[in-house]
Amino acid sequence: MAVDKATVANIAKLARIRIPEAGQDALVAELNGIFAWIEQLSELDTQDVEPMTSVVEISLPQRDDKVSDGGCREKVIGNAPEAAHGFFVVPKVVE
């Protein structure tokens, strides 16, 4: 995949960033270099490589999945500017 100045200008427009005309040439070269490197990676045979989450084999700690209210409702409500009946009071947004 090759990137040209028009593509860089379109990407900048979509990302809503301003790239000066002189900076577009540098980005074209940089993006083409990145895509060339990615194409090199696609040439590798990864058929027998298993997916991994880390370079060292570890088992992640797990905890029981149980529902709780946190046990600190009063502390949380105490931080609210205004509360009523154990809930936060917020301005009405729908009329």
pLDDT, tens digit, for every residue of 6-42? 999 999 999 999 999 888 999 999 999 999 999 998 8
Residue 4 has pLDDT above 80, yes or no: yes
pLDDT, tens digit, for every residue of 48-93? 888 887 888 888 889 888 888 778 888 889 888 999 998 999 988 8
CA atoms of 28 and 39, how far apart (whole Å): 16
Where residue 71 falls (left for φ over 0; alpha for ψ -120 to 50; beta otherwise) is left
